[in-house]
């Protein structure tokens, strides 16, 4: 039996990009900073509102797996994700998980989503990882998020 003291250091990752779009169903555009509003989502994003999918998150590892299979460059926001991150495999987080992202705090509400076979994202990228590996969250505490910020699983 291992008698070393075990630590419960939370999982950590890094925000690689923050993205928004003004229309639903469109790819998102990287921004310098986004502002998250409690129980609303990202200021200026089409998916903001009083519902459970205010923020979408995607892990770089999910993009990398698909990038190895396609010939086009899969830039940040191509899958309509709001936050692209590295170091945490968000698709493995259980619903209800709390995340600190930048100065904001989120709660995971859904893993994956139904995707239309003819969506513009699938047409341009050849596939869409969001139905399988995208994670959705609601904003518990607002704040700002930018590339380089730390993401912590609480």
Structure tokens at 123: 């047409």
What per-residue confidence (pLDDT) applies to 120? 64
- Can you give the residue range of the structural domain that contains 18? 12-153
pTM for the model stands at: 0.87
pLDDT tens sequence across 11-35: 999 999 999 999 987 889 999 999 9
What per-residue confidence (pLDDT) applies to 69? 76
Task: Please report whether residue 2 resides in a domain.
Answer: no
Count of domains for the chain: 1
What per-residue confidence (pLDDT) applies to 2? 42
What per-residue confidence (pLDDT) applies to 121? 62
Task: Please report whether residue 3 resides in a domain.
Answer: no
What per-residue confidence (pLDDT) applies to 122? 67
Q: Where are the alpha helices (DSSP H) in 3-140?
A: 60-67, 120-125, 130-133
Cα angle value 107/142/110 (rounded, 5°)? 20
Task: Please report whether residue 6 resides in a domain.
Answer: no
Task: Please report whether residue 16 resides in a domain.
Answer: yes
What per-residue confidence (pLDDT) applies to 72? 77
Task: Please report whether residue 131 resides in a domain.
Answer: yes
Q: At 140, which CATH number? A: 2.40.33.20
What per-residue confidence (pLDDT) applies to 37? 98
- The stretches in the chain having pLDDT less than 50 are 1-7
Task: Please report whether residue 130 resides in a domain.
Answer: yes
Task: Please report whether residue 4 resides in a domain.
Answer: no
State the Cα–Cα distance between residues 130 and 112, nearest whole angstrom. 6
Task: Please report whether residue 5 resides in a domain.
Answer: no
State the Cα–Cα distance between residues 2 and 153, nearest whole angstrom. 25
Cβ-proximal residues to 41 (8 Å cutoff; 6+ apart), any chain: 47, 48, 49, 54, 55, 138, 139
């Amino acid at each position: 039996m291992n008698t070393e003291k075990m630590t419960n250091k939370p999982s950590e990752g890094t925000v690689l990009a923050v993205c928004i779009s003004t229309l639903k169903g469109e790819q998102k555009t990287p921004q310098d900073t986004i502002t998250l509003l409690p129980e609303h989502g990202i200021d200026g994003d089409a998916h903001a509102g009083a519902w459970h999918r205010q923020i979408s998150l995607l892990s770089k590892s999910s993009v990398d797996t698909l990038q190895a299979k396609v010939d086009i460059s899969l830039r940040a926001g191509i899958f309509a994700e709001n936050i692209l991150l590295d170091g945490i495999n968000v698709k493995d987080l259980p619903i209800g998980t709390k995340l600190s992202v930048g100065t904001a705090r989120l709660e995971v509400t859904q893993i994956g989503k139904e995707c239309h076979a003819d969506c513009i994202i699938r047409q341009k990228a050849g596939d869409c990882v969001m139905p399988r590996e995208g994670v959705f969250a609601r904003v518990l505490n607002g704040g700002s998020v930018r590339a380089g910020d730390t993401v912590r699983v609480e």
